Amino acid sequence: MTSLSPASIPSHSAFLIKLWIDDTAGDEGPEEMDRTLTWRGQIQHVQTGESRAFRGPFQMLAFMDRFLVPRKTAE
């Protein structure tokens, strides 16, 4: 994994995301209210080409967070 210094990270980022959401019903059938959504997919940071598989929105967002830098606001 390549570590980027803050000076080398651009002020904007683009990501390519392939996303699958599996809708799994409970044991009692599709009318069952206890449904589980399972996320899985692949994310790639366009500028660096680094990519990662993920299993859930939090893993996807954690990958993105590494490349997103807060902008300085004018005071």
- Per-residue pLDDT tens digits for 41-75: 999 999 999 999 999 889 999 999 999 877 665 55
The parent domain of residue 37 ranges over 12-65
Alpha-carbon span 37 to 54, nearest angstrom: 14
Judge if pTM exceeds 0.75.
no
Residue 18 lies in a domain: yes
Question: Mind spelling out the 3-state secondary structure of 27-59?
Answer: CCCCCCCCCEEEEEEEEEECCCCCEEEECCHHH
**For residue 10, pLDDT beyond 80:** no
**Residue 74 domain-assigned (yes or no):** no
Q: Scan for tokens 């959504």, then name that residue.
A: 37
Q: Percentage of the chain surpassing pLDDT 90?
A: 41
DSSP helix/strand/coil, 62: helix
Mean pLDDT of the chain: 78
β-partners of residue 15 are 45
In total, how many domains does the chain have? 1
Question: Strand pairing partners for 37?
Answer: 23
